[in-house]
Amino acid sequence: MAFKIGVIRGDGIGPEIVAEAVKVLDKVAEKYGQEFDYTEILLGGASIDAAGEPLTKEALETAGKMDAVLMGSIGGNTTTSPWYKLPANLRPEAGLLAIRKGLGLFANMRPAYLYEELKAACPLRDEIIGDGFDLVVMRELTGGLYFGERRTYVEDGIEKAVDTLTYGEDEIRRIALRGFDIAMKRRKKVTSVDKANVLDSSRLWRKIVNEVAMDYPEVEYEHMLVDNAAMQLVRDPKQFDVILTENMFGDILSDEASMVTGSIGMLSSASLREDSFGLYEPSHGSAPDIAGQNIANPIATILSASMLLRYSLNLDEAADDIDAAVKKVLEDGYRTVDIMSEGMTQVGTREMGDLIVERI
């Protein structure tokens, strides 16, 4: 069967890490007799350079015709890149927000898994790490502060800015359903994170989550204030299974969760809608300072390709093969510079991709 996969190579290290993920996809396609038809799509800085805007209407339409989209990192150096001298709506990240909204990608799923082989890279003490941890942050992606009304204005000679946080019960309900569904496939625990002691939007969030939870009697669930959740992630990450939260809180907490795994270069990400379509990308940024040096870690992008196979194409066995190959490479002692430790063998971006392909 032929599947249509959109490929957004992105900016900075994006083209390098996406190339390795495509290499891995080609290997599983060969092994399982699948056919992947790739279509190149421009987004972010690459699109600004080519078309003068971070996401064209044509690119969005093309992405919508795919079975799934694999994406590298977007953006550049915010101090030196000419992209950041443009108005905010024409900067690279505006294209990312636009494609999420335009494709209805309301659910962002970021796993945070500590590999046994990378415990030494985790900044937490051994007694906190224990046997490791395995959690998922389920973040609402198309509502809240990032998409609310905003303006900057002058009043009585004083410059002011306003950002509006708005959520409808339908937006909350659909992300809660996705979070509880994922929990049913894992350890059946949901921690819903909000700021209900202060925000009306969080009080509505909590009300709707309570209603959704009634349909999942097998799932243990709790509410946790976001400031406490941030502390608990570094005090005892093992307590979490699925963290369900709104857009801005999810943005912050997923980055915190990624760092306690030892390297953000290891963490995949999926942005999903109600059907099987998804956009898959690494959790890390474009790292323009190391672009083109063959030192970037491609594992997060390769694991994102694994998620693409699992959640959009329903190719679980192929996804399992990729996950197992990554683990085997780490067991064999190979490391990119960001996860390098004494006694290991340091390899570059392309070499890491080749090693994973060899083990599939």
* Segment among 118-132, 140-154, 237-251 with least mean pLDDT: 118-132
What is the structure's pLDDT at 27? Answer: 98
Q: Domains in the chain, ordered, with CATH?
A: 1-109+264-360 (3.40.718.10), 123-260 (3.40.718.10)
Helical ranges in the chain per DSSP H: 14-32, 45-51, 57-64, 92-102, 126-129, 169-184, 200-213, 226-235, 247-259, 299-311, 316-331, 349-358
Catalytic residues: 146, 195, 227, 251, 255
Asked if residue 267 has pLDDT above 90, the reply is no
State residue 304's pLDDT score.
97
Going by C-alpha positions, the residue among 158, 164, 246 that lies closest to residue 205 is: 246
C-alpha 177/C-alpha 209 separation (Å) is 9
Nearest to 95 by CA among 53, 123, 50: 53
Whole-number percent of the chain with pLDDT over 70: 100
Residue range 154-178: average pLDDT? 97
| pLDDT digit string, tens, across residues 48-85 | 999 999 999 999 999 999 999 999 999 999 999 999 99
DSSP string, 248-314: HHHHHHHHHHHHTTS-GGG-EEEEE-SSS-EEEEESS---GGGTTSS-S--HHHHHHHHHHHHHTS-
Structure tokens at 199: 């925000």
Report how far Cα 334 is from the mean position of its chain's Cα atoms: 24
Structure tokens that stand for 326 in this block? 């990554």
Name the phi and psi angles at 141, rounded to 5. -115, -10
- Average of per-residue pLDDT across 93-120: 90
DSSP states of 174-198: HHHHHHHHHHHTTTSEEEEEE-TTT
Quick one: pLDDT at residue 40? Answer: 98
Paired tokens of 300:
């997060």
Distance of CA 8 to the CA centre of its chain: 15
283 has pLDDT over 90: no
pLDDT score of 180 more than 90: yes
Those residues whose C-beta lies under 8 Å from the C-beta of residue 123, and which sit 6 or more positions away, are: 259, 260, 262
The pLDDT mean for the chain works out to 94
* Predicted pLDDT of residue 131: 79
Checking if the pLDDT of 129 tops 90, the result is no
pLDDT at 114 over 90: no
Report the distance separating Cα 61 and Cα 69, nearest Å: 12
Residue 116 — very low, low, confident or very high, per pLDDT cuts 50/70/90? confident
Query: Residue 219 has what pLDDT?
Result: 98
Q: Specify the higher pLDDT residue, 340 or 158.
A: 158
Q: Is it the case that residue 244 has pLDDT exceeding 80? A: yes
> Over pLDDT 90: what percentage of the chain?
85
pLDDT, position 46: 96
> How many whole angstroms separate alpha carbon 259 and alpha carbon 83?
28
pLDDT band at 259 (very low <50, low <70, confident <90, very high): confident
Whether pLDDT at 141 is above 90: yes
pLDDT tens per residue across span 2-47: 999 999 999 999 999 999 999 999 999 999 999 999 999 999 999 9
Indicate yes or no: pTM above 0.95: no
CA distance 354 to 109: 27
Written as one letter, the residue type at 83 is: W
What pLDDT, on the 0 to 100 scale, is given for residue 126?
Answer: 81
Neighbours of 85 (CB within 10 A): 9
- 3-state DSSP assignment of residue 48: helix
**pLDDT attached to residue 262:** 72
